[in-house]
């Protein structure tokens, strides 16, 4: 199984580091986390016997789902399981891990007062693993038409992209510092 996925360390805002509206900004670009599409998109392109993270067709599609799931949700998940219920669960956990990682990244960046943040990429180009925030959709029976937001977009819209967001650093400053 290899070493568990280790999300990048989020840099802290250090004392003496100028931040705020008076400080010239900059743009952060091309942040992203690979994840899978939903069961509704994936199942239409796979035979039911291949509804597993480790099925042969997934060998070319399973970017980093194993380490994301193990890192965020523990290593007690059997990603070899085949079937609708385990495949749905594993796909959702992978998408939720993407959401948690990007939320942490965006909130860390917002604490540094950037002008803009560009996430890579907006939409998946087919129902598989990818960087997309919106999953792929085609007129295939059983597949989501036109795509839909992955869980990451709901997280970002409600918190990280809010007009006002409270973010914390790791400097452990107290009131008497």
Ordered DSSP codes for 132-167: -SB----S-TTSPTT--B-HHHHHIIIIITSSS---
Distance from the Cα of residue 137 to its chain's centroid: 19
In the chain, where do the E strands start and end?
27-31, 116-119
pLDDT given at position 10: 43
- CA dist., res. 39 & res. 148, Å (int): 12
β-sheet bridge partners, residue 123: 134
**Whole-model pTM?**
0.74
| Residue 59: both structure tokens together | 């060998």
pLDDT of residue 81: 95
Q: How confident is the model at residue 102 (pLDDT cuts 50, 70, 90)?
A: confident
d(CA 64, CA 69): 9
Whether residue 41 contacts residue 127, with contact meaning beta carbons closer than 8 Å, is answered with: yes
Residue-averaged pLDDT of the chain:
77
**Higher pLDDT residue, 132 or 4?**
132
Confidence band of 18 (pLDDT split at 50, 70, 90): low
Determine the Cα–Cα distance for residues 38 and 87; give it in Å rounded to an integer: 9
How far apart CA 45 and CA 63 sit, in angstroms, is: 17
* pLDDT, tens only, 35-94: 888 888 888 888 999 999 999 888 776 566 888 899 899 999 999 999 999 999 999 999
Q: How far apart are CA 51 and CA 58, in angstroms?
A: 9
């Amino acid at each position: 199984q290899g070493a568990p996925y280790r999300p990048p360390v989020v840099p802290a805002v250090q004392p003496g580091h100028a931040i705020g509206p008076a400080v010239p900004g900059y743009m952060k670009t091309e942040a992203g986390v690979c994840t899978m599409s939903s069961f509704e998109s994936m199942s239409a392109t796979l035979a039911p016997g291949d509804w597993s993270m480790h099925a042969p067709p997934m060998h070319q599609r399973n970017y980093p789902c194993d380490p994301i799931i193990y890192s965020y949700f523990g290593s007690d998940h059997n990603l070899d399981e085949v079937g609708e219920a385990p495949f749905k669960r594993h796909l959702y956990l992978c998408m939720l891990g993407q959401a948690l990682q990007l939320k942490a990244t965006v909130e860390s960046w917002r604490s540094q007062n950037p002008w803009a943040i560009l996430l890579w990429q907006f939409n998946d180009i087919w129902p598989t693993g990818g960087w997309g925030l919106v999953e792929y959709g085609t007129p295939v029976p059983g597949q989501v038409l036109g795509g839909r937001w992955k869980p990451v977009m709901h997280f970002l819209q409600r918190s990280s992209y809010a007009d006002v967001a409270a973010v914390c650093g790791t400097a452990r400053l107290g009131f008497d510092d």
